[in-house]
Amino acid sequence: MRRLRKTDTNLNNESIEGWNVIRKVAPYLWPAGETGVKVRVVLALAMLLVAKLISVATPLFYKHAVDALSAEADPALWLGMGAVGLTVAYGMARLMNVGLSQLRDAVFAPVGQRALRRLAYETFVHIHSLSMRYHITRKTGGLSRIIERGVKGVDFLLRFLVFNMGPLVLELLLVAGILFYLFDVWYLAVVVLTIALYVWFTFAVTEWRVKIRKKMNDQDTEANQKAIDSLLNFETVKYFAAERWEADRYDRAMEGYEQAALKTSYSLSFLNFGQSFLITSGLVAVMVMAAVGVQNGGLSVGDFVMVNAYMIQITMPLNFLGSVYREIRQAMIDMSEMFTLLGQPAEITDKPGAKPLAVSGGTIALKDVSFGYEAERPILRGVDIEVPAGKTIAIVGSSGSGKSTIGRLLFRFYDVNDGALTIDGQDVRDVTQESLHQQIGVVPQDTVLFNDTIYYNIAYGRPDASEAAIIAAAKAAKIHHFVMSLPSGYDTAVGERGLKLSGGEKQRVGIARTLLKNPPILLLDEATSALDTDTEREIQAELKAMGQGRTVITIAHRLSTISDADEIIVLENGKIVERGKHEALLTRNGRYAQLWQRQAADEEEAA
């Protein structure tokens, strides 16, 4: 939450500049090189202009129809039409206005939808490109809501700013001009004063309301994040019988929302009443002036009716100015949150002109690597490791010594602070991340699956793989038999994060999809979560088979599984304290021997 607040202040300070946001949206509506889109935009704007001209002329037909009917006037003809003709023309004008507006919406809709889709796509791609560091600090629920609200904001802006606010201003100008031309400057003055007061009042009150709305938004996000976090951890909640605690926490967040929502609704009533007061005052003032004019004989009854029609015509859309303005402000905030996210630089990026990683054998070298997630806390200090092509090294050490960190550096989730990490002589910082990720297969401590079928999850390793290849991978990972025993076989859904499968089954699906990927380099992060000994042993055998002919780094917790590694590296506090083959290390009787004896004793005890 503290993080979120920080972003909010930034927003208030700089990013809410509406034009900035509009400038960012504009290229989506006027995409370079897409003539079809541009034609649609021009057509829609032309229809808009014609519709407005017709709509402004409509009261004129009305006025002349009334004049033609009123007893004291000459049975005057306007444009050669009598009262009936004028009334029909009045109806036609109204109809054309509506028809053109609908047509305009239809012409513009594909432009808007395409812009939305592209924006959502770009934000999604960008979020994926952001670094690990960003992802683990940011809450996923919060992120997806930022996209959702941002895209909605753009949608709103398109529909209302372009096709309501713009036309409204145009219409106001036209009507003001007509009133000035047909009557006198006082009518114009009253209309201008009314609208100026109205706009000032609306904007001022709305500004104040936006702050309340922002608070409401924050509370909403907070309650949502709490709910999502709690639901994602539902198992833990059950383990600790913490349903009540979770519900209370959620309720407290919702209470804040309740308060903010009430304030929002009260302030809306105030705004609505104030607006009505101003509009009605202006309307009555103009009509009184017209009534006096009719009594003095200077104006016709038709003029009185027309003044009323114009006033209604311009004040009706003004009625929703407040909510539109508020929504636009809100949309601006939401969009600027999204654009801030889009502008968030990725920590790890490809160098300009980075080449794809060319793997010949897959020799991995860490040269004097130092790294810390935070500057003040070093995790790895001067680590030197070389894994010759096709060999297997194992990294052991107590929990927190930095074993998994080495894997993350290999995958370039983070960059080293000092030293270098190379594959076949190429620094991982000099090659494209995509090629790097393609060459390394990872079986993590805890395989997390997509909420889809087993087939989909295995095929994720190589989406273009044939069914036969997928089944072969499943067989090699010794999961085919199990899958076939399920009623839906490969079409079995695995549940969110793969929760419907056991730890061992998940692990095997993970192995199958890595086998399918068939990378020259493997990173095996041994499961710490205890699988039962048999399953553990079988999976070990499968991992070992998978390592044949590849360069393998195993992060090991059980020493018995790595005794035949080509080299074992013992890491303590981010430093290599011992290295060598299993037997040699045992003979040395150092840290490794100590770990080995402790584990042997533990296993004996367990047995």
* Interface ranges with ligand ATP (CB under 6 A): 136, 373-374, 379, 397, 399-405
* Identity of the residue, 95 or 448, whose beta carbon is nearer to ligand ATP in the bound complex: 448
Look up residue 374 and give its amino acid. Answer: E
* Identity of the residue, 201 or 413, whose beta carbon is nearer to ligand ATP in the bound complex: 413
- For residue 244, give every residue at least 6 positions away whose Cβ sits within 8 Å of its Cβ, in sequence order, or none: none
Q: How far is the CB of 336 from ligand ATP (least distance, A)?
A: 28
Q: How far is the CB of 576 from ligand ATP (least distance, A)?
A: 13
CA distance 36 to 102: 20
- Taking a C-beta distance cutoff of 8 angstroms, is the pair 139, 3 a contact? no
Q: How far is the CB of 468 from ligand ATP (least distance, A)?
A: 37
CA distance 141 to 144: 5
- Taking a C-beta distance cutoff of 8 angstroms, is the pair 531, 508 a contact? no
Look up residue 124 and give its amino acid. Answer: F
Q: How far is the CB of 36 from ligand ATP (least distance, A)?
A: 47
What backbone phi and psi angles, to 5 degrees, belong to 216?
-60, -40
- Taking a C-beta distance cutoff of 8 angstroms, is the pair 574, 383 a contact? yes
Look up residue 569 and give its amino acid. Answer: I
Q: Is 353 exposed, middle or buried (0-12, 13-18, 19+ CB in 10 A)?
A: exposed
569 DSSP β-pair partners: 395, 579
Q: What angle do CA 289, 292, 293 make, to 5 degrees?
A: 85
Q: How far is the CB of 376 from ligand ATP (least distance, A)?
A: 11
* Identity of the residue, 166 or 444, whose beta carbon is nearer to ligand ATP in the bound complex: 444
Q: How far is the CB of 554 from ligand ATP (least distance, A)?
A: 12
Residue 270 tokens read as: 């105030």
* Identity of the residue, 68 or 396, whose beta carbon is nearer to ligand ATP in the bound complex: 396
What backbone phi and psi angles, to 5 degrees, belong to 570?
-105, 120
Q: How far is the CB of 369 from ligand ATP (least distance, A)?
A: 13
CA distance 295 to 423: 95
* Identity of the residue, 175 or 379, whose beta carbon is nearer to ligand ATP in the bound complex: 379
Residue 571 tokens read as: 């890491």
DSSP structural state of residue 345: P
* Identity of the residue, 298 or 400, whose beta carbon is nearer to ligand ATP in the bound complex: 400
Q: How far is the CB of 46 from ligand ATP (least distance, A)?
A: 56
Q: How far is the CB of 139 from ligand ATP (least distance, A)?
A: 15
* Identity of the residue, 10 or 131, whose beta carbon is nearer to ligand ATP in the bound complex: 131
CA distance 529 to 448: 13
* Identity of the residue, 393 or 474, whose beta carbon is nearer to ligand ATP in the bound complex: 393
Q: How far is the CB of 404 from ligand ATP (least distance, A)?
A: 3
* Identity of the residue, 74 or 376, whose beta carbon is nearer to ligand ATP in the bound complex: 376
Q: How far is the CB of 374 from ligand ATP (least distance, A)?
A: 6
- CA dihedral in degrees (417, 421, 425, 429; nearest 10)? -60
Q: How far is the CB of 508 from ligand ATP (least distance, A)?
A: 21
* Identity of the residue, 225 or 401, whose beta carbon is nearer to ligand ATP in the bound complex: 401
**What is the helix, strand, coil percentage profile of the chain, to 5?**
65, 10, 25
* Identity of the residue, 30 or 413, whose beta carbon is nearer to ligand ATP in the bound complex: 413
- CA dihedral in degrees (497, 503, 509, 513; nearest 10)? 70
Residue 103 tokens read as: 């047509």
* Identity of the residue, 113 or 528, whose beta carbon is nearer to ligand ATP in the bound complex: 528
Instruction: Please choose, from the candidates 532, 530, 556, the residue with its C-alpha nearest in 3D space to the C-alpha of residue 543.
Output: 556
Order of all β-strands in the sheet with 364-371: 380-387, 364-371, 418-423, 426-427
Name the 3-class secondary structure at 542.
Answer: helix
- CA-only gyration radius of the chain, Å: 35
Could you tell me the maximum CA-CA distance found in the chain, to the nearest angstrom? 123
Q: How far is the CB of 574 from ligand ATP (least distance, A)?
A: 8
Residue 237 tokens read as: 């909640």
- Taking a C-beta distance cutoff of 8 angstroms, is the pair 408, 132 a contact? yes
* Identity of the residue, 147 or 562, whose beta carbon is nearer to ligand ATP in the bound complex: 562
**Can you point out the beta strands (E) in 116-173?**
none
